[in-house]
Amino acid sequence: MSFLLRPLNDSSSNNSNNVIRISPEPCFVVKSKVINPGTTSLSSNAKIFINICHNDQIPLPEIDFNPAIVYPLIINNQWEIPIVTSSIREDVDKKGNVCYVSDCCINTKCVSWIQHDLQLREIVVEWCLESCELRAELEISRDNISFPKLKKKGDTIPELEILREDLTENYEETINDLVNREQKEPVSIIEKRRDFLAEDEPSTGELPPLIPIDQSSRRKPLIEEIEDLSLHETKKPKVEEIQKKSISYELSMGKPKDTSEFLLKIEVTSELNSSLDYNIKYDAKSNKLIIKNTNLGIYPEKKLKVPLPDIFNNPPKLECFFVKPERRLIIFL
- Say what the pLDDT of residue 53 is: 96
Compute how many other C-beta atoms are within 10 angstroms of the C-beta atom of residue 267.
17
- Say what the pLDDT of residue 299 is: 84
- Helix %, strand %, coil % for the chain, to 5? 25, 25, 50
Nearest to 79 by CA among 187, 192, 240: 187
Grade residue 321 by pLDDT with cuts at 50, 70 and 90. Answer: confident
Compute how many other C-beta atoms are within 10 angstroms of the C-beta atom of residue 205.
4
HEC profile of 160-216: EEEEHHHHHCCHHHHHHHHHHHCCCCHHHHHHHHHHHHHHCCCCCCCCCCCCCCCCC
Question: Considering Cα of 11, then 15, then 18, then 19, what sign does the dihedral take?
Answer: positive
CA 134 to chain centroid: 14
Please determine, for residue 59, whether its predicted confidence score (pLDDT) is greater than 80.
yes
- Say what the pLDDT of residue 253 is: 83
The pLDDT tens digits for 39-54 are: 888 988 899 999 999 9
Report the DSSP beta bridge partners of residue 90: 100
Please determine, for residue 311, whether its predicted confidence score (pLDDT) is greater than 70.
yes
By the 8 A CB rule, do 51 and 102 touch?
Answer: yes
By the 8 A CB rule, do 62 and 82 touch?
Answer: no
- Say what the pLDDT of residue 207 is: 45
Residue 38, SS3?
coil
- Say what the pLDDT of residue 205 is: 44
The pLDDT tens digits for 235-282 are: 554 544 445 678 888 888 888 876 667 888 888 899 888 888 888 888
Please determine, for residue 189, whether its predicted confidence score (pLDDT) is greater than 50.
no
- Say what the pLDDT of residue 275 is: 81
Structural domains present in the chain: 11-199 (no CATH), 223-332 (2.60.40.4160)
By the 8 A CB rule, do 142 and 217 touch?
Answer: yes
- Say what the pLDDT of residue 219 is: 45
Per-residue pLDDT, averaged over 23-51, amounts to 92
Query: How far is 254 from 317, CA to CA, in rounded Å?
Result: 16
Query: How far is 314 from 263, CA to CA, in rounded Å?
Result: 13
Query: How far is 56 from 109, CA to CA, in rounded Å?
Result: 7
Per-residue pLDDT, averaged over 56-61, amounts to 92
- This prediction's pTM: 0.54
The pLDDT tens digits for 228-241 are: 555 454 555 454 44
Report the DSSP beta bridge partners of residue 283: 288
Nearest to 140 by CA among 74, 218, 62, 207: 218
Question: Considering Cα of 158, then 41, then 146, then 127, what sign does the dihedral take?
Answer: positive
List the single range of 15-19, 31-35, 184-188, 300-304 with lowest mean pLDDT.
184-188
Grade residue 200 by pLDDT with cuts at 50, 70 and 90. Answer: very low
Grade residue 15 by pLDDT with cuts at 50, 70 and 90. Answer: low
Please determine, for residue 30, whether its predicted confidence score (pLDDT) is greater than 70.
yes
Question: For the residues of 303-330, what is the DSSP string, one character each?
Answer: EEEEE--S--SSSPP-EEEEETTTTEEE
Compute how many other C-beta atoms are within 10 angstroms of the C-beta atom of residue 60.
15
By the 8 A CB rule, do 257 and 308 touch?
Answer: no
Question: For the residues of 65-88, what is the DSSP string, one character each?
Answer: --HHHHHHHHHTT------EEPPP
- Say what the pLDDT of residue 148 is: 92
Helix ranges (DSSP H) in 79-117: 108-116
